[in-house]
Amino acid sequence: MGKITVQKQTIRDIDWQGKKALVRVDFNVPQDESGQITDDARIRAALPTINYLLEHGAAVILMSHLGRPKGGPDPKYSMKVTADRLATLIDAPVKSVGVVTGPHAEAAAQALRPGEVLILENTRFDARETKNDRGMAQELAKLGDVYVDDAFGSAHRAHASTAGVAEFLPAVAGFLMEKELEYLGNALEHPKRPFIAILGGAKISDKIGVVEALLQKVDTILIGGGMANTFLAAEGYAMGKSLVETEVLQTARDLMEKGAGIIQLPVDLRVAAEFAADAENKVVSIQDVPAEWMALDIGPATIAHFANNLSGAKTVVWNGPMGVFEFPVFAQGTVAIAEMLASLRDATTIIGGGDSAAAVRQAGVEDKMSHVSTGGGASLEFLEGQELPGVAVLKDR
């Protein structure tokens, strides 16, 4: 899988002079109640690709989804807000057209000159997008000469704008896609050791495949967050009112058996009387979780235990927070891990998107990581060894 990067063509392999680049970006940015963008990291991540295309004589047509509209237009999820933000970040005219495909989109694409950018409306305003509808893919393909996939965060979905369109246009990777495949691919194929995975987040059920795949590849797996509760319960500890997935307890037992010596669980927890930012809370050992309380973060002894495991690491992949990091008092484990990774010398540190990416940003150490992935679900599936539809369609070298 690591060899994937060598084999995929990128935008460097195309002569862009006078061509229209149809680029799938991941502009699915978080917004506040009033629709303002709260974090434009995903838009900034696409800039190297967009700027390269503009500098090499292309007209650039961008497509992305935003939020979860119900398969029809919803002003709350219009791409206009991302077009406005992009216009402040690049030195080129940015136009938007209020449709995804059809005569208006074709006319706007036709009129687009080299050095200009056009943003199509939210691809998910068309119900055909998520069905990977061939007709929609064909309509999108009419807008450009070459398809560029720079949306790793959507690469695990076979949609019309991520995979289908490549049936009708030559398809190459953008720089962000290339970087994602390079870091994740190399970590899995040629890791420098010790190779440590840190897994957190609420549930085991969506990470069973990842744990199984990583057991074959890593030296140690450190488990925190809600998923640790289920493992601890599987080991026979009483977890009080903590989130425990009872239906996968047997699976957790099997994984512990397979991963004996590799999987490391918390030794203490920060527990709370209720699920709230200002809840009464205390640190207890894993033997002493009170019946009416719930575990919401790893404790200081666990932080020390995990730090000890990480101290000599050469490759680290992290996916999922260590606690309910939206509440400052229960963010201590997550922030400590982020700071620990930031302090590692000569280690490759890869943050697997989603909440972990938010956590390293919140801890102010994002720039100290080797790579912060833009795709949570996509990086998980990649780590699991699945072929991602949006990667499979790219032209081989």
Question: CA torsion 92→95→64→114, rounded to 10°?
Answer: -50
- In angstroms, the CA 353 to CA 351 distance is 6
First to last CA, the chain: 15
Which one of the listed residues 80, 95, 142, 203 is annotated catalytic?
203
User: What's the CATH code, domain 4-180?
Assistant: 3.40.50.1260
Residue pair 365/334 in contact by the 8 Å Cβ criterion: no
Residue ranges of the chain that CATH labels 3.40.50.1260: 4-180, 191-382
Is 368 tagged catalytic? Answer: no
User: 20 phi and psi, to 5 degrees?
Assistant: -105, 120
- In angstroms, the CA 161 to CA 144 distance is 12
Residue 4 reports pLDDT greater than 60: no
Is 42 tagged catalytic? Answer: yes
Is 203 tagged catalytic? Answer: yes
What are the structure tokens assigned to 96, written together? 């938007």
Q: Give, in words, the CATH class of 191-382.
A: alpha beta
Which one of the listed residues 131, 377, 385, 395 is annotated catalytic?
377
Which one of the listed residues 153, 185, 226, 354 is annotated catalytic?
354
Q: Tell me the three state secondary structure of residue 329.
A: helix
Residue 173 reports pLDDT greater than 50: yes
User: 56 phi and psi, to 5 degrees?
Assistant: -100, 25
Average confidence (pLDDT) over 166-185: 92
Give per-residue pLDDT as tens, 285-312: 999 999 999 999 999 999 999 999 999 9
- In angstroms, the CA 72 to CA 351 distance is 34
Residue 5 reports pLDDT greater than 80: no
Task: Give the Cβ contact number of residue 20 at 10 Å.
Answer: 21
Q: Is 7 exposed, middle or buried (0-12, 13-18, 19+ CB in 10 A)?
A: exposed
pTM for this predicted structure: 0.85
Q: What angle do CA 363, 367, 369 make, to 5 degrees?
A: 85
Average confidence (pLDDT) over 382-396: 84
Query: CA dist 393 to 78, 127, 134, 165, 222, Å?
Result: 28, 22, 14, 9, 34
Q: Is 97 exposed, middle or buried (0-12, 13-18, 19+ CB in 10 A)?
A: buried
Give per-residue pLDDT as tens, 63-91: 999 999 987 899 999 999 999 999 999 99
- Which residue type does 236 have? G
Which one of the listed residues 8, 42, 124, 179 is annotated catalytic?
42
Is 377 tagged catalytic? Answer: yes
- Helix axes 208-215 and 376-383, enclosed angle (nearest 10): 40
